[in-house]
């Protein structure tokens, strides 16, 4: 994979703060963090239709919306996402919805001459047995994790389309690969969510109902890396303003912990003191997928939110949302 066109560290091409910026997926975990950051940074023409206002799977509607609103910058943070159970049991939805969303937005952006575009993938695009920490060069070098293969293949198609546009049309579109994310506004569904919001919900419920034990999924042995959505949003802006290469860029903390350690941490933040059991009939997924973040740290970004603080922040949001 070529990194020949990488902008040297420190190079910056500030985006026009008055230019129309389309945050696709504005109400999601990532989109809402982007919206907060871009608003604070003085972007005055943010565009963020809800999924009811614009279904990104509806190709004619997407083309019509682009023609009408003419965004100059597009951040493609819209996706069907979910935790291991949702991915494993609904693979059709994950491949079909994500392919449709991506191809419609990318095609409409190309048709309308969008110069600046950032596509967000996921660390699950890398092979199940990639060497850790995982470098960007590991893409397409091995078999994927079966529980999320459909989602990963859709995301890989998105990366490939962005790289195709770069090659065929010379546009400086880029891709970022975030690790497992969490933060305010996450999905706390008891079955379909990712592990961190699932644990917050489970421990909160157990504490308020005075349950003597909770049951988590899998063995607790897999290791995961967690990045707060506000840290990702800063990375997205930095990349849009200072990175230009056909290679995706990993965005994570570079540090991981076991799900068992995460469970202890969430229990202590929530104040749950009962027992924890593990249901090993549930899948573990990939054993380990911590990202090598040397490429983005060389550009001047670093994560700022410690996991314990981020969990406390997310728990405060969960309580205030009354979910
Ligand atoms: O967060 P999670 O669903 O995502 O699960 P993945 C991480 C680990 O936590 C797995 C365990 O080993 C789960 O078995 N776990 C324990 C739980 N208790 C729970 C629980 O209550 N809920 C959940 N969800 N997990 C997803 C992919 O994989 O990561 C997506 O399926 C995407 O495609 C996303 O890439 C970032 O890291 O295993």
pTM for this predicted structure: 0.96
Percentage of the chain surpassing pLDDT 90?
Answer: 95
pLDDT at 264 over 60: yes
pLDDT at 233 over 80: yes
Cα 193 to middle of ligand 1, angstroms: 8
Q: Give the number of the atom of ligand 1 that is nearest the alpha carbon of residue 179.
A: 36
**Long-range Cβ contact pairs of 267-270 (< 8 A, separation 24 or more):** 267/199, 267/203, 269/200, 269/308, 269/311, 269/312, 269/315, 270/200, 270/203, 270/204, 270/207, 270/315
The finding on whether 216 has its CB within 6 A of some atom of ligand 1 is yes
Cα 4 to middle of ligand 1, angstroms: 35
The finding on whether 264 has its CB within 6 A of some atom of ligand 1 is no
Q: Which residues are catalytic?
A: 151
pLDDT at 107 over 80: yes
pLDDT at 4 over 60: no
The finding on whether 266 has its CB within 6 A of some atom of ligand 1 is no
Q: Give the number of the atom of ligand 1 that is nearest the alpha carbon of residue 152.
A: 33
Average pLDDT score over the chain: 95
pLDDT (tens digit per residue) in 122-157: 999 999 999 999 999 999 999 999 999 999 999 999
The finding on whether 147 has its CB within 6 A of some atom of ligand 1 is yes
Domains, the chain, with CATH or none: 21-185+226-253+290-304 (3.40.50.720)
């Amino acid at each position: 994979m070529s990194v020949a066109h990488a902008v040297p560290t420190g190079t910056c091409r500030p985006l026009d703060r008055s230019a129309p910026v389309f945050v696709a997926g504005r109400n999601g975990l990532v989109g809402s963090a982007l919206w907060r950051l871009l608003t604070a940074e003085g972007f005055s023409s943010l565009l963020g239709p809800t999924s009811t206002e614009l279904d990104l799977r509806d190709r004619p509607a997407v083309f019509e919306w682009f023609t009408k609103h003419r965004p100059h910058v597009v951040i493609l943070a819209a996706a069907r996402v979910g935790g291991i159970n949702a991915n494993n049991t609904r693979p059709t939805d994950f491949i079909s919805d994500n392919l449709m969303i991506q191809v419609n937005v990318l095609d409409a952006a190309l048709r309308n001459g969008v110069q600046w575009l950032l596509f967000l993938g996921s660390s699950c695009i890398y092979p199940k047995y990639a060497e850790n920490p995982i470098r960007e060069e590991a893409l397409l070098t091995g078999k994927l994790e079966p529980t999320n293969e459909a989602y990963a293949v859709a995301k890989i198609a998105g990366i490939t389309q962005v790289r195709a546009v770069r090659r065929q049309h010379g546009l400086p579109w880029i891709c970022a690969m975030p690790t497992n994310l969490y933060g305010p506004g996450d999905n706390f569904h008891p079955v379909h969510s990712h592990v961190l919001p699932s644990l917050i919900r489970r421990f909160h419920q157990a504490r308020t109902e005075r349950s003597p034990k909770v049951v988590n999924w899998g063995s607790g042995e897999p290791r995961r890396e967690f990045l707060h959505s506000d840290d990702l949003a800063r990375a997205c802006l930095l990349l849009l303003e200072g990175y230009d290469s056909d290679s995706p860029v990993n965005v994570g903390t570079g540090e991981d912990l076991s799900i068992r350690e995460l469970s202890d941490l969430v229990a202590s933040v929530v104040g749950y003191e009962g027992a924890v059991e593990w249901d090993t009939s549930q899948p573990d997924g990939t054993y380990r997928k911590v990202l090598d973040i040397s490429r983005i740290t060389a550009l001047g970004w670093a994560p700022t939110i410690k996991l314990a603080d981020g969990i406390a922040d997310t728990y405060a949001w969960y309580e205030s949302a009354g979910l």
